[in-house]
């Protein structure tokens, strides 16, 4: 009788997590889907804004106790972050601001906020730089433990206010303030200073940054968890709809630029014009995959980024979990072999 075939080696991937307010609960579900499949090993994770929060929660959970601890850590955070969660009032308010660029359209709160922001900045309204987000993140993440966890590379992006350049914080140097900087919307929060340098939301320059993964991990496959839709079928007409669409386009733009670069390098490798490898003068052939919120829940509006009702967060989590399972069922054999995101189609310009 023939011996059973040995199990196939696990497939190694990197994860790239976009920001998107409360829609980050979809990413929670995607992470849970990958955690539940022992055939998948995650070598690296990069994140921006709410994606950075998910990244450090996931990574520190892995550092503490592996897949089960990471699963539990994400669940505790998102339950606490919900409207009916257990957070103190100050932390509840700061999460509400993190999850919403503007209040709901047409409300009295929107009119009040618009008037206040026209005349006052966060420096006027918060002169003592009170930001309870620091206590919240420190409650859920042990950054010393995370820094020492070598099996997983972690990258968090922020925008240097003075130079306009991207800053990428590696796992070894990650702090709570780096995550705060990555999620710092400038019309809501004072710039987060680290070693005397002010930072704003990383989404302006990278949402998220892909390039740190190219030479730091064994995996050549990146799964992008994309929360901001590329396509909208209707033309925005109201002030809020216009603002939301501008934000979506702005926060997708850096990712589209990085995908163009990855596609260009892959094409040159395939044509034999570049040498594939990890040594000096060689280039990685990156396989790109995408799990998109807009594919899983097409009827979501931009304003739902501010909805922190726990039932809604669970709906997003379940959609993310299903999307991850569907991706693995459809494309597991493609990991390590080819891209499943057609970059040429995604990035093609339209000539008029």
Strand partners, 224: 16, 290
What span, in angstroms and rounded, lies between the C-alpha atoms of 38 and 10?
A: 7
Strand partners, 192: 199
CA-atom Rg of the chain in angstroms: 20
Alpha carbon separation from 292 to 189, 218, 349 (Å, rounded): 28, 24, 21
Kind of pairing, strands 221-226 and 11-17?
parallel
Q: How many CB atoms within 10 Å of residue 340?
A: 16
Token pair recorded at residue 244 = 């939301």
Token pair recorded at residue 126 = 């918060």
What span, in angstroms and rounded, lies between the C-alpha atoms of 227 and 230?
A: 9
DSSP string spanning 174-202?
A: --HHHHHHHT--TTTSPPEEETTEEEEEG
pTM of the model: 0.86
Q: What does the pLDDT profile of the chain (352 residues) look like in tens digits?
A: 566 656 678 999 999 999 888 889 999 999 999 999 999 999 999 999 889 999 999 999 999 999 999 999 999 999 888 876 666 666 666 666 556 543 334 333 344 344 444 444 444 334 434 455 777 788 899 999 999 999 999 999 999 999 999 999 999 999 999 999 998 888 778 899 999 999 999 988 998 999 999 989 999 999 999 998 777 778 888 877 787 778 778 778 888 888 888 888 888 898 898 888 888 888 888 999 999 998 888 776 665 665 678 888 999 999 999 999 999 999 999 999 999 988 777 666 666 7
Token pair recorded at residue 286 = 């990156």
Rounded (10°) CA dihedral 207, 208, 209, 210: -120
How wide is the angle at C-alpha 174 spanned by C-alphas 14 and 97, nearest 5°?
90
Contact 29/3 with Cβ under 8 angstroms?
no
Beta strands in 250-339 (DSSP E): 287-292
Count of residues in the chain: 352
Q: What is the DSSP letter of 283?
A: B
Q: What are phi and psi of 197, to 5 degrees?
A: -105, 125
Kind of pairing, strands 221-226 and 287-292?
parallel
Contact 59/232 with Cβ under 8 angstroms?
no
């Amino acid at each position: 009788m023939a011996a059973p075939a040995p199990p196939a080696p696990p497939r190694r991937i990197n994860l790239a997590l976009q920001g998107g307010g409360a829609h980050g609960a979809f990413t929670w579900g995607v992470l849970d889907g990958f955690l539940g499949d022992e055939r998948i090993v995650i070598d690296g994770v990069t994140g921006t804004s709410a994606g950075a929060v998910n990244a450090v929660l996931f990574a520190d959970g892995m550092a503490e106790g592996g897949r089960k601890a990471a699963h539990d850590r994400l669940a505790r955070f998102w339950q606490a972050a919900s409207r009916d969660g257990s957070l103190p009032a100050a932390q509840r308010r700061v999460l509400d601001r993190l999850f919403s660029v503007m209040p709901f359209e047409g409300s009295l709160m929107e009119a009040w906020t618009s008037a206040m922001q026209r005349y006052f900045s966060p420096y006027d309204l918060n002169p003592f730089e009170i930001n309870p987000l620091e206590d919240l993140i420190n409650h859920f993440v042990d950054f010393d433990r995370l820094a020492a966890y070598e099996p997983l590379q972690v990258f968090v992006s922020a925008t240097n206010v003075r130079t306009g350049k991207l800053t990428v914080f590696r796992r070894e140097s990650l702090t709570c303030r780096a995550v705060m900087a990555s999620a710092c919307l400038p019309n809501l929060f004072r710039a987060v200073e680290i070693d005397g340098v002010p930072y704003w939301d990383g989404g302006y320059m990278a949402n998220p940054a892909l390039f740190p993964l190219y030479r730091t991990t064994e995996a050549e496959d990146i799964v992008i968890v994309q929360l901001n839709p590329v396509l909208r079928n209707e033309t925005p007409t109201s002030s809020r709809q216009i603002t939301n669409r501008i934000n979506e386009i702005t926060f997708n733009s850096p990712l589209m630029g990085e995908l163009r670069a990855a596609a260009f390098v892959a094409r040159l490798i395939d044509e034999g014009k570049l040498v594939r490898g990890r040594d000096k003068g060689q280039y990685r052939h990156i396989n790109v995959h995408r799990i998109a919120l807009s594919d899983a829940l097409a009827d979501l509006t931009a304003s739902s980024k501010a909805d922190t009702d726990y039932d809604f967060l669970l709906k997003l989590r379940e959609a993310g979990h299903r999307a991850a399972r569907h991706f693995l069922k459809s494309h597991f054999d493609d990991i390590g072999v080819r891209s499943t995101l057609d970059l040429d189609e995604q990035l093609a310009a339209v000539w008029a």
